[in-house]
Structure 1
Amino acid sequence: MLNSEKIGNEFYQNLGKLFYAVAMADNNVRPIEIKRLRKYVRQHWLDIDEVEDEFHTDAAYQIEIVFDWLNGEEKYSEEYFKEFKEFYKEHPEKFTEPIKKLVVETAESIAKSFAGKNRSEMLAIFKLKQLFNH
């Protein structure tokens, strides 16, 4: 696998961690949040680039795969936000302004999908926006 493909896969895997961290911020991932994530992946993330995973499927599906795996683990979200933050700092070139906008839009959509954004999810999104503005 080429290094750029490896980083492309890691990019989507880290987005899966971030979106899980947002959904799990209130210690509960709801089915509607998972449904909203899948909708965003299919409507927006599949068209971002041509990167494929080792099975020759669109690497954007890594967002869902990682999200589902973490959801099965039911661990705390803070650690995954931290991992996303580290990836972002190591590869800022992967996060163009349109990508940042779509990341925030996706996170906000997940957070709003169940009875509006709650305090914990709002804090996670605030931290994300803060990260992108530095």
Structure 2
Amino acid sequence: MKTAYSEQTGKEMYQNLGKLFYAVAMADRAVHISELEKLKSAVRENWLEVDDIEDDYGTDAAFQIEIVFDWLLEYEKSSKESYEEFKTFYKDHQRAFSPKMKQLITRTAHSIAASFAGKNKSELIILAKLDLLLKSDEQDL
């Protein structure tokens, strides 16, 4: 499948999506098992089909989403720091994010946030920031 980004950018994109989805799950300072399960099912059901990029081991690069999420969880990184890292990557690579990909990002983030007792205030705030970020380039480009 033809993509608007290089293989290296694709790998970095998936790693940064792991940071974003971690930031959403960790917005309330706790990652619940249902949020982790929702992430894993979203990767398998949606993200594996996005492109044909593989990591250095021949595995679909979309699994980098889970790997980075798990690493951040293990090292208890903050939601804010993880979100800011995604934001920086996004701003540096806006053209790599197609409208379809932005919809998938939004859908995945919302499903993670809603997976444990609905969306709380902290999650709503980060989802609103994400929505503004993903729409910001539409005026800038």
TM-score, normalised relative to structure 2 = 0.92
Q: Secondary structure at the match of 1:29?
A: coil
Deviation at 1:125, TM superposition (A): 0.4
Unaligned runs of 5+ in 1: none
> How far apart are the structure 2 equivalents of 1:94 and 1:112?
27
The alpha-carbon deviation at position 133 of structure 1 amounts to 1.0
Cα offset, 1:33, TM superposition: 0.2
Shift of 1:22: 0.2
Aligned length: 132
Deviation for aligned residue 1:108: 0.3
Q: Alpha-carbon deviation of 1:119?
A: 0.3
Equivalent residues in 2 for 1:1-134, closer than 5 Å? 4-134=6-136
C-alpha separation in 1, matches of 2:97 and 2:8? 16
3-state DSSP of counterpart to 2:61: coil
TM-score relative to the length of structure 1: 0.97
Q: Following superposition, which runs of at least 4 residues in structure 1 exceed 3 angstroms of deviation?
A: none
Distance in 1, matches of 2:74 and 2:110, equals: 22
